[in-house]
Amino acid sequence: MRQDTYDDLPTSALKSSLTRLAYIGGGTVIYYLKPDTVHIGRNSQLRDYAILEVGGKLEIGEGCVIGAYNWIQASGSVTLGDGVIMGPHTSLISTSHQHTDPESKVADTPLLRGSVTVGNNVWIGAHVTVLMGVTIGDNTTIGSGSVVTRDIPANSVAFGNPCRVHRRK
C-alpha cells in the first residue's frame, strides 16, 4: 500500500486530484493501493493530521472539509457528497471483522467490506464515528460524540449513542 504524507503529496500519483484542494494540512497522510480509487473534489480541505486509508474506493465531493485528526477508513467504499463538513476527531469506517469464534484471533477473522455514504450538505460534529453500512441523507446534522450505526434520513438532526433522529428540519 502506498503512503503519501503532506511533504510528498505534490509529487505523488494523486497529484491531478490533489492540486485542486484549497488546503492540505500538515501531517496529513493518504494510504492507497491505486491512485484512480481516490477522488477529492475541487475546493475541498484536508485539515491537519487527517488520515485517509484507501484500500477500496474513496470519493470526496466538492467544497468538503475533512476536520483535523479525522480518519477515513475506506477498505470498502466511502462516498461524501458536496459540501460535507466533518468536525475534528471523526471516523468513517467501511469495514468490520466477522468474529464469531471466541477462540480465534480477531486478526485471523474475515474482513467484511461495506460502504459509508454521506449525502450533500451534511454537517458531522466532532468525535463522531460512522460505521460500515450507513447512509446519511442530504442536509443532515449529526451531533458531536454520536456513534452512527444505522441510516439517517435526509433533512434530519440526529445524535446520540447509538445515533437516532431527534427532529426533522
**Stated pTM of the model:** 0.88
Taking the C-alpha atoms of residue 156 and residue 148, their distance in angstroms, rounded to an integer, is 13
- 84 class by beta-carbon count within 10 Å (0-12 exposed, 13-18 middle, 19+ buried): buried
The active-site residue, picked from 39, 97, 99, 127, is 97
Bridge partners for 79 per DSSP = 59, 117
CB 16 within 8 A of CB 39: no
| pLDDT value, residue 3 | 53
Taking the C-alpha atoms of residue 8 and residue 108, their distance in angstroms, rounded to an integer, is 34
Taking the C-alpha atoms of residue 63 and residue 82, their distance in angstroms, rounded to an integer, is 6
For residue 13, give Cα distances in angstroms to 49, 75, 143, 161: 20, 19, 36, 39
Q: Which residues contact 37 (CB under 8 A, 6 or more apart)?
A: 54, 56, 57, 58
Q: What is the pLDDT along the chain (169 residues), one digit of tens a residue?
A: 555 544 444 445 555 556 566 678 888 888 888 878 999 998 999 999 999 999 999 999 999 999 999 999 999 999 999 999 999 999 999 999 887 888 888 888 888 999 999 999 999 999 999 999 999 999 999 999 999 999 999 999 999 999 999 999 8
User: At residue 121, what is the residue type?
Assistant: N
Vertex 166 angle, CA 128 and 68, to 5°: 20
Q: How many CA atoms lie within 13 A of 163 on its CB side?
A: 28
CATH placement of domain 2-168: 2.160.10.10
Domain boundaries, the chain: 2-168
- In the residue annotation, 97 being an active-site residue is answered as yes
CB 94 within 8 A of CB 118: no
